[in-house]
Structure 1
Amino acid sequence: MGRAVAQRFAREGAWIGLLARDPARLEDAKREIESLGGKAVIHAGDVADPAAHEAIADLVEQTFGAIDIWINNAMTSVYSMIHEMPPEEFRRVTDVTYLGVVYGTQSALRRMRARDRGMIVQVGSTLAYRSIAFQSAYCAAKHAVRGFTNSLRSELKHDRLKIGLTMVQLPAVNTPQFLWARNRLSQAAKPPAPIYQPEVAAEAIWWAAHHRRREVYVGYKTSLGIKLNKLIPAFLDRFLGKRSFGEAQRTRDPRQPDNLWRPAKGLYAARGPYVAEAQSGSLHLTISKHRSAWLWAFVGMASAVAFAWRRKNPSRGPVWNRR
């Protein structure tokens, strides 16, 4: 996902700082950014280490100047039954997926508060609202990110700061995570349909970084899932318990790489293994980005219909005046 986001910003000529563990993939991403019209500096480090965030922040500001936008995106996950999962794996997923956001946000705030400007984007998930089976640590971490972000939002308002803060809730996205997440189940990991290409999510993140919206939902199923979880959580507990892995799942390859403790080997790009099944656009996202225009269009249409009806029925007053 981070690779796709970097590509999207590079097309706008952005100056970008990248933090990840694998030096080779960082160098590959840097070359790609520069070929698309952007500039980049890189730092090989683990988001679970607060010092790594400070290192990339210092490097960016020394090279490019003040940081305008900070995006927290890194994640890792484990597919496992809870009773089979060792404590150290819970801690590792939490350190990366939750505390990595905390440390990154703190580094951004140390620089943005003094200037009273900037934008922080937290990359979330439908699973920040609705947990599923077999990904307990990841779901819990995303819930924690949402709680942390809400606390920060209140603090920024308390101090009357102009720092923007948004959270982008993603649907199933076709990234390499399904090739390298640790998996002790018999089935290969596959996201539920509809699946979106990472460029769709990257567009949403780019848009969110330039607009002051509290949250952005990507895909109709994200919006629907979040709303249904508020209305019928018990039903979803049962439904998702049966459907968390589809009926036609392929068997897991025992040679699958694992990136929990160290990067998976290889020069992976943004897209994962489900290219043929993933959608390259989202009507829901398009409507969401322009919801004010859609609202005014609806109001205008309704007014026009009411006016036409009134002209056609001049003798009929409002319903409440009829005798």
Structure 2
Amino acid sequence: MYSKSIQDFLTKPKVVDWRFPDKDGFCERTLDCKQLAVKEVLRWREEKNLLPIFLNPFDCSHQNLQLRRSEPNFNLGWSLQTKHSIPKDKIIPEIQRYISMNGYCLLFYRSFETTYSSYYKTHDIVHWSLIVNVDEEKLTLIDEAGHPSYFQGHMGQVGYDDFRSNWICDSNFGIGQVIKNELASTDWNSVCFELMRSSVKNMTTLGGLENLKEFVATLQGTSASTIVEYIETLEFDIHYFRRLRELWLLAVNRGSIPKPYVNPLWVEELFYLCKCWSLIMGVLMKWKRQPSKDYKKKLVDYVTQTYKNEERFFLAMKQSLGV
């Protein structure tokens, strides 16, 4: 069906590197692990104009120092069909079947429990990889968070025995494929309007901004020593949270937002918002390198200012939509 295998597509002449933007501007700054894997499948399938597929509405929740947004979905009829709770003795044949059927297999697993992940015993999330080949004894994966014992750059190989010993038969471990509903709406104008309308509703009416404000207050009420203990997770969470803002800014810069909805007011606020979250990331990285120093005041000041920018951004978006 395609001129080359997905393994060759992603590894020749050199292995893909998600740290750096591709021709569409996608990288780990704008897409999460699931989206990056799906993006490569769509590129391999020669799909065009990918950015609208990945935009999602904004929302916000928090629990103590955990800042959260919803997991992303896909637009314009695209989705994932997944299968989980697969017994250990069945998982390799099932992956082989997916590879034979599709040329690839999406993989998800709980990273905290998985030794071939660099997040092993560090970040407790459901992480996504892309399996691009199988042979008699091992899987070949593309993953930006592979453990260096198994990976060189973004490509790694995991033997079947190792893979099975890491596998758990529950809902946090499974496989998937990208599918398209040909009957779904492909009217990007109406889809984009709905994403923006939902964003405004989620953040202003359904408590998103209030949750962010509570997160700021929690941070302010937490001792510097406790923040230092939690800083690895805090950095990870805030990077995940800000990613969607970077993706929307990319969509603006690439002309992917329909012109009737591009208002200079919210676009300017979005630009400053991305700068604000970058400053916060900079403070966290500096504090992680220098844990004996106290950067709490600077961090709280930046997060407080960023909350005000978030307020202005969603007010501007609301006004531009007239909702």
Give TM-score scaled by structure 1 length. 0.27
- When Rg is computed on C-alpha atoms for both structures, the one with the higher figure is 1
Bigger RCO (CA 8 Å, 6+ sep): 2
Give TM-score scaled by structure 2 length. 0.27
